């Protein structure tokens, strides 16, 4: 058998291996679009790339995301509450540990009706509010593409998902503490800060991304 030109997987360059893994790994992502506010495929691709990189850096297995499972297989996308708001509950007898992501150009509201830039629900649905995403960055970040901002935003939420679901960290309601020193002093947030820094540096090495709890 002629093996000329065959490259062993272990010998392949890192960039090639990552491209192959991303090509067969797909995280369930849903686009929740406001009228005249579509979400581009490039944003979805970057969120998926950032999610995969986060899993890889934290050394977490992605095998179950290589089975072609769609968002709609896991989530009831049309369920609504009494306020006529879509709630995205898990379907019955569905793996609640699987991460699913909603990218939204509609308001993302918590159980008290407050709008948030990003949100993780108890049933492990991660929301990124693209209409408010600039609020997550300093004024000097206006020139950063939306794709990159969405990627940076999802990193934190995916790290928290891994902390809660894979590592068994206690899930606390720290929403009211966002932006305060007490928020960053929470055990989960304290553990996540250096991990966010590490993933951001790998994803976006040309950007000088500052992480609260590490850089200031």
Angle at 168 between CA 162 and CA 104, to 5 degrees: 35
pLDDT at 11 over 50: no
- Does residue 178 form part of some domain? yes
- Does residue 89 form part of some domain? yes
Backbone angles phi, psi at 117, to 5 degrees: -70, -35
Q: Specify the pTM.
A: 0.84
**Structurally, how many domains does the chain consist of?**
1
Distance in angstroms (rounded) separating the CA atoms of residues 43 and 74: 22
Distance in angstroms (rounded) separating the CA atoms of residues 195 and 95: 26
Distance in angstroms (rounded) separating the CA atoms of residues 79 and 121: 15
Q: Can you tell me the mean pLDDT for 157-185?
A: 76
Distance in angstroms (rounded) separating the CA atoms of residues 163 and 188: 7
Q: Can you tell me the mean pLDDT for 16-38?
A: 80
Query: How does residue 21 score in pLDDT terms, banded at 50, 70 and 90?
Result: low
Give residue 33's region: left, alpha or beta (phi > 0; psi -120 to 50): beta
Q: Can you tell me the mean pLDDT for 8-15?
A: 43
Q: Which has more confidence, 147 or 9?
A: 147
- Does residue 46 form part of some domain? yes
Kindly report, residue by residue over 67-93, the tens digit of the pLDDT.
889 999 999 999 998 888 899 999 998
Which residue range is the domain that position 90 belongs to? 23-203
Q: Which of 78-82, 135-139, 207-211 has the lowest mean pLDDT?
A: 135-139
């Amino acid at each position: 058998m002629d093996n000329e030109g065959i490259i062993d997987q272990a010998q392949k360059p890192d960039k090639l291996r990552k491209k192959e893994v991303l090509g067969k790994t797909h995280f369930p992502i849903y686009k929740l679009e406001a009228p005249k506010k579509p979400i581009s495929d490039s944003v979805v691709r970057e969120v998926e790339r950032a999610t995969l990189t986060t899993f890889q850096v934290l050394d977490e297995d992605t095998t179950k995301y290589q089975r072609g499972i769609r968002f709609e297989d896991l989530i009831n996308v049309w369920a609504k509450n009494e306020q006529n708001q879509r709630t995205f509950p898990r379907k019955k007898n569905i793996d609640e540990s699987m991460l699913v992501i909603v990218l939204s150009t509609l308001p993302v509201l918590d159980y008290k009706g407050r709008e948030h830039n990003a949100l993780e629900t108890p049933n492990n649905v991660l929301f990124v509010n693209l209409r408010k995403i600039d609020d997550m960055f300093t004024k000097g970040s206006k020139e950063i593409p939306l794709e990159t901002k969405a990627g940076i935003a999802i990193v934190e939420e995916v790290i928290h998902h891994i902390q809660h679901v894979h590592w068994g960290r206690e899930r606390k309601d720290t929403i009211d503490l966002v932006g305060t020193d007490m928020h960053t002093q929470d055990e989960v947030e304290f553990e996540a800060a250096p991990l966010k820094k590490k993933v951001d540096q790998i994803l976006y090495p040309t950007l000088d991304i500052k992480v609260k709890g590490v850089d200031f």
